[in-house]
């Protein structure tokens, strides 16, 4: 996706343009609000599991312990 602006009579409008040749929406423009809203929804759905969060939290402590011994 490439960020673009379109100039109206009085202001500019932000949108994203798909520039991938293999994409079925090649050269299709999508309003900024739609793409960014869907991206925020995707990020909210990508929460790490409790096990992964705990492992990431413990990793620096474990590395410090291994350096001390």
Q: What pLDDT shows up at residue 10?
A: 93
**pLDDT over 70 for what percent of the chain?**
93
Compute the average pLDDT of residues 48-55. 84
58 neighbors 52 (Cβ within 8 angstroms) = no
3-state secondary structure of 34: helix
Q: Are β-strands 12-17 and 2-7 bridged in parallel, bridged antiparallel, or unpaired?
A: antiparallel
Against a cut of 0.85, is the pTM above it?
no
φ, ψ of residue 58 to 5 degrees: the values are: -80, -20
* Residue 13, beta-bridge partner list: 6
CA distance 69 to 66: 6
Where residue 26 falls among pLDDT bands split at 50, 70, 90?
low
């Amino acid at each position: 996706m490439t960020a673009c602006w379109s100039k109206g009579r009085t202001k500019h409008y932000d949108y994203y343009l798909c520039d991938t040749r293999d994409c079925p929406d090649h050269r299709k423009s999508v309003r900024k609000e739609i793409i960014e809203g869907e991206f925020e929804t995707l990020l909210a759905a990508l929460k790490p599991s409790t096990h992964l969060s705990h492992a990431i939290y413990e990793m620096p402590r474990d590395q410090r312990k291994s350096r001390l011994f």
